[in-house]
């Protein structure tokens, strides 16, 4: 499976500021996925990032709040903008792997606390 | 609509006893089903998957899962639980595209 490096692993941020999370994969992948895991809850897909095109956002998530970059086939960033305490969550990037291409590999996650 | 249900928020089991973590699903078409585990302060780790074939799927760390089409279930099992198995377990289904739908998670606590 692919190996994903995600950073930072955790951060405490002031409300109104922005944080950019980086995700590096050790192999080229077509799609990268960004998830949010709110405290005590399941995973919710934020958006899908394809290289060379704009990210596709799920219902309830918008580009102004969660801008995503995908400059090449091994790297992506997610920015959480104008943060509020409600944004406190774990943010995870993932890729699909294997032949057939079923199964996710996840990064170790970014634990964000907004104060 | 595709959905996954994990009816138990928490499962407690004594070390050495068999464990079962339940998962039921609702999908149109053939289901692609997965189990993931999340240890504290870690990302999710893949345990096993069912795509097609044998209904009993074997995965990492001695875990296995049984696909039951008539009951639309995909329960996770292990014959003998270890304290180190204590973690949060997620069942997931691929919805026919590239998207995965995750259950709400079940916290497994193995008691020494």
d(CA A10, CA A110): 5
| Predicted confidence pLDDT, tens digits, chain A (115 residues) | 788 999 999 999 999 999 999 999 999 988 899 999 998 888 999 999 988 888 999 999 999 999 999 999 999 999 999 999 999 999 999 998 765 556 788 999 999 999 9
Find the length of chain B.
Answer: 112
Please tell me the distance in Å from B14's CA to the nearest CA on chain A: 24
- Which chain A residues are within 8 Å of B49, Cβ to Cβ? 102-103
Is A52 an 8 Å CB contact of chain B?
no
**pLDDT score, position A98:** 65
8 Å CB contact of A41 and B104: yes
Chain A hits for B37, CB-CB cut-off 8 Å, are: none
Over residues B49-76, the pLDDT tens digits come to 998 888 999 998 999 999 999 999 999 9
User: Of A62-71, B1-10, B82-91, which range is least confident?
Assistant: B1-10
Residue A86 vs residue B2, higher pLDDT: A86
* A25-47: pLDDT as tens digits: 999 988 899 999 998 888 999 99
DSSP string, chain B: --EEE---SEEEEETTS-EEE--EEE-SSS-EEEEEEE-TTS-EEEEEEE-SS-SEEE-GGG-EEEEETTTTEEEEEESS--GGG-EEEEEEEE-SSS-EEE---EEEEEE-
Test A31 with B98 for CB contact under 8 angstroms.
yes
């Amino acid at each position: 499976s692919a190996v994903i490096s995600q950073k930072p692993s955790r951060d405490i941020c002031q409300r109104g500021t922005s944080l950019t999370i980086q995700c590096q994969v050790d192999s080229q992948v077509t799609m990268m996925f960004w998830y949010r895991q709110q405290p005590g809850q399941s995973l919710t897909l934020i958006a899908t990032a394809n290289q060379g095109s704009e990210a596709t956002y799920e219902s309830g998530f918008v580009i102004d709040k969660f801008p995503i970059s995908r400059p090449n086939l091994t790297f992506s960033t997610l920015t959480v903008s104008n943060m509020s305490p409600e944004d406190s969550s774990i943010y995870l990037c993932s890729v699909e792997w294997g032949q057939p291409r079923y199964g996710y590999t996840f990064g170790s996650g970014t634990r964000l606390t907004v104060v | 609509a595709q959905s996954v249900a994990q009816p138990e928020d928490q499962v407690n089991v004594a070390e050495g006893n068999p464990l079962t973590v339940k998962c039921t699903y609702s999908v149109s078409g053939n289901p692609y089903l997965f189990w993931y585990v999340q240890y504290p302060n870690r990302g999710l780790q893949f345990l096993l998957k069912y795509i097609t074939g044998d209904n009993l799927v074997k995965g990492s760390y001695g875990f296995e899962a049984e696909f039951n089409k008539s009951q639309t279930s995909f329960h996770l099992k292990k014959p003998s639980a270890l304290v180190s198995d204590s973690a949060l377990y997620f069942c997931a289904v691929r919805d026919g595209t590239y998207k995965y739908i995750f259950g709400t998670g079940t916290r497994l606590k193995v008691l020494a």
